[in-house]
Structure 1
Amino acid sequence: MPLKRVNSFKYLGHWVTDDLKDNVDIERERRALSVRCNMLARRFARCKDEVKITLFKAYCQSLYTCSLWVSFTQRAYSALRVQYNNAFRVLLGLPRFCSASTMFAEAHTDGFHAIIRKRSASLLERLRGSTNGILRALADRWDSPLLGRWLSLHVSSAM
């Protein structure tokens, strides 16, 4: 029986495309983040900031499958980062152009890049600690895309 060829498909919630780029999945996450944040902002507008921050951490910091993103355009990645920052601003009623690093620091909340770094490190640690030899081998290969992404997130390029 002939197989149907598709350009993209969803597997366990992650979009896989024929070019193996992550832009479609990043856009899925950007839209989902927008929906979640707008719901929180509407339903909890009168709550204290501490409650809103707790809700933001619970509902907006998951960034599902972000640790798998290794090949994407800067445009798609930046759009998600801006959405994340704006979601926090909207939820807390902060001015549109306030400093993202300052607002996250004052709220004792991880910013976008910290979330991505933590998720990437967590995946690599879980793969290396796996009882599955194939997963361990993939995580330890120097040419592994996941290891390359981890290095790009954790190693300074100021040389």
Structure 2
Amino acid sequence: MKDDEDIKRERRALATRAKMLAHRFRRSTAPVKITLFRAFCTTFYTCALWTSYTQRSLSDLRIQYNNAFRALLRLPRWCSASGMFADARVDGFQAIMRARCAAALRRLRGSRNSLLAIIADRLDSQLLVHWTRVHSVVATYTQLA
């Protein structure tokens, strides 16, 4: 019952989409490439439901996300990930993960379905524990950087 396989599937899908974009739109302008990247490479379907995974698998996905952006914009591999995303005004990997988790929790809590409301309101819920961890780990990481 690990989510590592789903994360690996998402990583492969991201690599495929990014490679296709980089190839088909290699002569396009940077704003067009950035718009395409936002549309096709920031989805991470079901990521808000990932609760049982290794840090390695999530780190591999983050690295793939960063490298996909670099390849699309033809940036050098050694350029700063946070700098390139800030310059392009694109959310970094951790920002996307936080936004997806927050949106899923908001939808659960706003649902009229009583079962979903119970899951969202339980403090010992696996999803709530995970979402809290996502936000606190990122906050701690940001403070250390």
Q: 1:30 maps to what in 2?
A: 11
The structure carrying a bigger strand percent of its residues is 1
Q: Pick from 142, 151, 156: which aligns with 2:123?
A: 142
Is 1:87 aligned to residue 87 of structure 2? no
State the shift of 1:149 in Å. 1.4
Alignment of 1:1-80 (within 5 A): 20-80=1-61
Which segments of 5 or more consecutive residues in structure 2 lack a partner in the other structure? none
State the shift of 1:118 in Å. 0.3
1: CA distance, partners of 2:121 / 2:12: 33
2: CA distance, partners of 1:75 / 1:25: 13
Is 1:110 aligned to residue 91 of structure 2? yes
Q: 2:103 maps to what in 1?
A: 122
The structure carrying a bigger helix percent of its residues is 2
Q: Alpha carbon RMSD of aligned pairs, Å?
A: 1.0
Q: Secondary structure at the match of 1:64?
A: coil
2: CA distance, partners of 1:93 / 1:64: 26
Which gives a bigger RCO, structure 1 or 2 (Cα 8 Å, sep 6+)? 2
Q: Which amino acid aligns with 1:72?
A: Y
2: CA distance, partners of 1:131 / 1:68: 20
Q: Which amino acid aligns with 1:109?
A: V
State the shift of 1:154 in Å. 2.1
Alignment length (residue pairs): 139
Superposition TM-score, scaled by structure 2 size: 0.93
Q: Secondary structure at the match of 1:58?
A: helix
Structure showing greater radius of gyration is 1
Superposition TM-score, scaled by structure 1 size: 0.85
1: CA distance, partners of 2:135 / 2:19: 32
Percent identity over the alignment?
A: 59
